Structure 1
Amino acid sequence: MAYANETDGVGNRTGECHPIDDFRNQVYSTSYSLITVLGFVGNGFALIVLIKTYRQITPFHVYMMNLAMSDLLCVMTLPLRVLYYVRKGQWEQGDFLCRISSYFLYVNLYCSIYFMTAMSVTRFLAIVYPVKNLGMATVNRARFVCLGIWVFSSFASSPFLMTGQSFDPKSNKTKCFEPPEYNSERLPKLQALNYFALVLGFILPFLVILICYAGIVRTLLSRNPAARRQKSSASKAIRMIVIVLLTFLVSFMPYHIQRTIHLSLLSTAMTCEDKSFMHKSVVVTLCLAACNSCFDPMLYFFSGESFRSRLSSLRNTMKNSAMRRPSKMKQIVKPKSMGNQSDSPEPSGAWC
């Protein structure tokens, strides 16, 4: 979100405030381009590995696959945003793609939060309640949870489908991805939607994650020395704690805090300096929120359940299949050569 034009506290244009168009266009186009490349490569590679090793399916595996698909769905819409900001805020892709691009960004945002929460709960059950975990965390239940996350996030983000492209007569441009102006008629609805998303989409999942991680750390510290020697589960849990907390602190928390402050200040008068700072912070925090698609591959590789072993098994499978091909070719060529010898005419000496 960013502002194409500066307005005063009552929505009137002012000549004193300088627009942030150049800053917005440069930051968004550069950031989204990098996120598209890194997110597509990282999540695409992870998804290929997870699909190829689907026979080794676990509940954690199910969550990782759904998280990768959510990230890919998001990064596939980012090039449309890049085009918009490269063209200096001129939208030429139609109303449908404008709505879909905004919609998928927020579906991915909250799907990522809930999938990370589900992965944290699964790791919590595996470490704190290892015996009960066998019956509580199953593949079918993980699939059911993923379905619920998709349905809830898709439904909760549906208000973003209500707003599409619009024509700005002042700049003579078709706009998309623009936030509400000061004292907009739809501001109260957006504020209510923000508080709903803030509580259910960020605060509640974050509290669940903190509780799970507190239980994991407490269990790991209370283990006897013999159990501590089994470093595999402990190291994976610690790496997961670090990566998920960094993702929340870097991507999700700044965006939700800034969005809440921004929407609450839209109905108040501000100086040009405050407006400029607020608009630039919108640009920066939204880019950080979109960066979660780049952080998730780190979660797969460093803390994913046997992800590296899946990668090595996939590599060995590819090597074995490549080695079988020459042997199969030899088997095919050998009978043919034997058949040619039997069908060849006997030498003339045989008739003597």
Structure 2
Amino acid sequence: MEQVNVTGDVGRNSTNCPSIDDFRNQVYSTSYSLITVLGLVGNGFALAVLIRTYRQSSPFHIYMLNLAVSDLLCVMTLPLRVLYYVNKGQWNQGDFLCRISSYALYVNLYCSVYFMAAMSVTRFLAIVFPVQNLRLVTESRARLVCAGIWLFICLSSSPFLMSGQSFDHTTNKTKCFEPPSGKAVNKLVVLNYLSLGIGFILPFLVILICYAGIVRTLLSRKHTARRQRGTASKAIRMIIIVLLTFFISFMPYHVQRTIHLNFLSRTDTTCSERVAMQKYVVVTLCLAAANSCFDPLLYFFSGEGFRSRLSSMRHSVTVNSKRHVARLKPVSGSECGESHQLKDS
């Protein structure tokens, strides 16, 4: 499943078209900076809570933990992209970091899709097949699923490690994250359809089927216990957040990427069409990278006991800090005098 890096300014073969370099550099540098801050704070905080409460582990908890790790690995490479676009398309960080930063973004993108699909299946089994769920969904199986997702996505995204920095003789700059050109476009069009089907459409269909089953089951239950109502509300919140993430981050990027690659293979395009297409690529890739900021909402609003985990962690931190202060609290002068009087008496 080879993804296609279609960032950057395309259409250099048409010298009459205005460049979007200024637009691209400003939007990418601003967006990636904001995503880095929000992603580090949100996912870092969520990861701290999940690790501190690991004794309360569950299959859903394991998926959340892996999703947070994936997001953090991604946002930690975004500052390299910020530097590149702040320097107006000049890459100074070396070939290895160019490959890794491209690779990390797409590994996170597709790991997020598959971890969300796994979480949706887990919630589906818990609601639609509660009895079988106790036997089918276990922590050990969840770990195996996570390992399989990491292995599959890391291997299928490996083509990003094959292409690194390049030197542009037109601008005399070392480039990274630049789009394909020439004969490579036709090959990438075919590979894009493979990644579109396996990396996006397949897991998205799984998610839609699971949500349809969840909604149907919830609507068929006229009388539910209090505990079941809590599970239902978490499921509804999860459906809303995941679908919003797909419709805001994943779907626009994949649709635009497919249109863009087919657009690059055409020879009858106008200058205004090329400029518009380039700007759409910039916007949709920023939206795709922003999925790291939406995932903490998934943990807080639909994670199994995430808010209770947060409360228990906060309580344990408060108790430990009070004990620490009590041990370090100095004895006052009056207390010393009173102790001496007791000894004299």
- Taking structure 2 as the reference length, the TM-score comes to 0.92
Matches within 5 A, 1:78-227: 78-181=78-181, 184-227=182-225
Secondary structure of 1:241's partner?
helix
What is the RMSD computed on CA atoms of the aligned residues? 2.3
Deviations 1:212-271 (A, max 9, x none): 000000110111224478421011000000000000011000100111111112111210
Partner residue, 1:251: 249
Gaps of 5+ in 1: 8-12, 347-352
Residues 173 and 329 (structure 1), Cα distance of their counterparts in 2 relative to 1, 3 Å cut? closer
Deviations 1:138-197 (A, max 9, x none): 00000000000000000010001111000000101010000112xx23223322321111
Matched positions, count: 335
Residue 322 of structure 2 aligns to which amino acid in structure 1? M
Matches within 5 A, 1:1-352: 1-4=6-9, 6-7=11-12, 13-181=13-181, 184-227=182-225, 230-269=228-267, 270-329=269-328
* C-alpha distance in 1 between matches for 2:113 and 2:8: 27
* C-alpha distance in 2 between matches for 1:61 and 1:290: 23
* C-alpha distance in 1 between matches for 2:330 and 2:55: 30
Whether the 8 Å CA contact 2:103–2:157 is kept in 1: the answer is yes
Cα displacement (A) at 1:206: 0.4
Secondary structure of 1:14's partner?
coil
* C-alpha distance in 2 between matches for 1:323 and 1:56: 24
Whether the 8 Å CA contact 1:6–1:18 is kept in 2: the answer is no
Cα displacement (A) at 1:2: 3.4
Secondary structure of 1:43's partner?
helix
Residue 205 of structure 1 aligns to which amino acid in structure 2? P
- Taking structure 1 as the reference length, the TM-score comes to 0.90
Residue 193 of structure 1 aligns to which amino acid in structure 2? L
* C-alpha distance in 2 between matches for 1:20 and 1:331: 65
Whether the 8 Å CA contact 1:2–1:280 is kept in 2: the answer is no
Secondary structure of 2:174's partner?
strand
Gaps of 5+ in 2: 1-5
Residue 96 of structure 1 aligns to which amino acid in structure 2? F
Cα displacement (A) at 1:299: 0.3
Secondary structure of 1:225's partner?
coil
Q: Which has the larger radius of gyration?
A: 1
Query: Percent identity of the aligned residues?
Result: 69
* C-alpha distance in 2 between matches for 1:185 and 1:15: 20
Whether the 8 Å CA contact 2:114–2:149 is kept in 1: the answer is yes
Residues 313 and 275 (structure 1), Cα distance of their counterparts in 2 relative to 1, 3 Å cut? same
* C-alpha distance in 2 between matches for 1:331 and 1:15: 76
* C-alpha distance in 1 between matches for 2:311 and 2:50: 12
Whether the 8 Å CA contact 1:46–1:300 is kept in 2: the answer is yes
Cα displacement (A) at 1:329: 4.8
